Amino acid sequence: MNLNAIVSRAISAINPNQLVMVQASTGYTTNVDGSRTPSYLPAVKVRGQLQPLSFSDIQQIEGMNLQGVRQRIYLNGSIEGLVRGKKAGGDLITTPDGRVWKVALVTEAWPDWTSAVVTLQD
């Protein structure tokens, strides 16, 4: 049962869902000079909703040394943050206003939806 879809109807009456573009990280390529360039799959359209972080969210990520503008996103689908074993560095999410967000921390991962903390990249 997709609980997010059930509550999303009520929440989206106040904070509408957006069609966002998700680019899954595929790791990186190493350049001749030794620097690394991240690589991503082509963007996929997904319904999602950005929300401000709650006090408990802020407490949870406080010790992680995450800098910058952060929000929580709920997505219908799966996204990943940093996965060292796969050498992947966090998926990118582009909102309709053109802002790019990087997945810093996945807080809930279910078969039908994911909740994550994202950091603004521009």
> Within 10 Å of residue 96's Cβ, how many Cβ atoms?
9
How large is the average pLDDT for residues 69-87? 83
Q: What per-residue confidence (pLDDT) applies to 97?
A: 93
The CATH number of the domain holding residue 76 is 2.40.10
- Token pair listed for 74: 């709920």
Tens of pLDDT along 62-75?
666 666 788 899 99
Which residue range(s) make up the domain with 41? 3-120
Domain count of the chain?
1
pTM of the complete model? 0.79
Q: What per-residue confidence (pLDDT) applies to 95?
A: 95
**What is the distance between the alpha carbons of residues 17 and 118, in angstroms, rounded to a whole number?**
16
Hunting for tokens 């999602």 — which residue is that?
Answer: 48
Distances from the Cα of 53 to the Cα of 36, 107, 109, 115, 120, angstroms: 31, 12, 17, 11, 13
